[in-house]
Amino acid sequence: MQALIEGFLKFQKEAFPQRTDLFKHLATTQHPGTLFITCSDSRVVPELLTQQEPGELFVIRNAGNIVPSYSPHPGGVSATVEYAVAVLGVTDIVICGHSDCGAMTAVAKCTCMDHLPAVGSWLQHAESAKVINESRPHASEAAKVSSMVRENVIAQLANIQTHPSVRLAREKGLLNLHGWVYDIETGSVDALDANSHRFVALCEYPDTCALPARSAEAAA
Ligand SMILES: [Zn+2]
């Protein structure tokens, strides 16, 4: 904990004075353009990975970067998605999985969750991805986990489209959906490509999008 307090003191002394104008502007308003949904894993740092400043990313983090499908009893993730889309008007949502994900490793390896009932229940939101991943051959356990991470991103992109606010923004052609997988060791990102339905290197294909916003004309 001492490291955190020392870090805060350093922030107050060094980082904050460099951004006083930004923080003064942000004191009463925020206009983030992107909702970034990723895992709680300590090694995934959205603002570092995307080089964004305060005020630029609206973030949801949980075990396994999961977005439960919309239901009559929506929870915190659903409320946060709704606020980001319907109130803040984000134009992009990124669902970002990552390498060596503990949650997806547990799902891929069918790890017994009897001693972690909350985690086990939560990870059932990745069930459709698990079923698809199980149906495919994998060269190794590591490949199976890696594939699970990708299938989970695809499944959560499907889940988020059951949310009314997302449906409406998509219908209006105002919202792009992105599926990313971040590799911790190499710092690279693979992104789901709408056309090929494959993950491609974002550095090689920076325009890659999982589900581009439909234009109003195209939707009509
Ligand atoms: Zn994770």
In terms of domains, do 25 and 38 share one? no
Burial of 20 (0-12, 13-18, 19+ CB in 10 A): exposed
- The alpha carbon of 14 and the centre of ligand 1 are apart by a number of angstroms equal to 31
- The alpha carbon of 33 and the centre of ligand 1 are apart by a number of angstroms equal to 24
In terms of domains, do 125 and 141 share one? yes
In terms of domains, do 96 and 150 share one? yes
Beta bridge partners of 76: none
Question: In the chain, where do the E strands start and end?
Answer: 34-39, 57-62, 92-98, 176-182, 189-192, 199-201
- The alpha carbon of 184 and the centre of ligand 1 are apart by a number of angstroms equal to 11
In terms of domains, do 7 and 108 share one? no
The one-letter amino acid code at 194 reads A
Read off the pTM.
Answer: 0.95
In terms of domains, do 86 and 4 share one? no
In terms of domains, do 53 and 138 share one? yes
In terms of domains, do 163 and 109 share one? yes
- The alpha carbon of 175 and the centre of ligand 1 are apart by a number of angstroms equal to 25
**CATH number of the domain that 62 lies in?**
3.40.1050.10
User: b/e string for 58-77 if b means 16 or more Cβ within 10 A?
Assistant: bbbebbbbbbbbbeeeeeeb
pLDDT for the residue numbered 215? 53
In terms of domains, do 69 and 159 share one? yes
Per-residue pLDDT of the chain (220 residues), as tens digits, is 999 999 999 999 999 999 999 999 999 999 999 999 999 999 999 999 999 999 999 999 999 999 999 998 989 999 999 999 999 999 999 999 999 999 999 999 999 899 999 999 999 999 999 999 999 999 999 999 999 999 999 999 999 999 999 999 999 999 999 999 999 999 999 999 999 999 999 999 999 999 999 754 454 4
pLDDT tens per residue across span 137-160: 999 999 999 999 999 999 999 999
In terms of domains, do 66 and 153 share one? yes
Q: How many structural domains compose the chain? A: 2
β 57-62/176-182 pair status: unpaired
pLDDT for the residue numbered 217? 44
- The alpha carbon of 194 and the centre of ligand 1 are apart by a number of angstroms equal to 24
- The alpha carbon of 22 and the centre of ligand 1 are apart by a number of angstroms equal to 31
Burial of 29 (0-12, 13-18, 19+ CB in 10 A): exposed
- The alpha carbon of 208 and the centre of ligand 1 are apart by a number of angstroms equal to 23
List CB-based neighbours of ion ligand 1 within 5 Å.
39, 41, 101, 103
Q: Which residue range forms the structural domain that includes residue 13?
A: 1-29
β 176-182/189-192 pair status: antiparallel
In terms of domains, do 4 and 109 share one? no
In terms of domains, do 209 and 128 share one? yes
- The alpha carbon of 83 and the centre of ligand 1 are apart by a number of angstroms equal to 24
Distance CA 52, CA 56 (A): 6
In terms of domains, do 42 and 147 share one? yes
Distance CA 156, CA 58 (A): 17
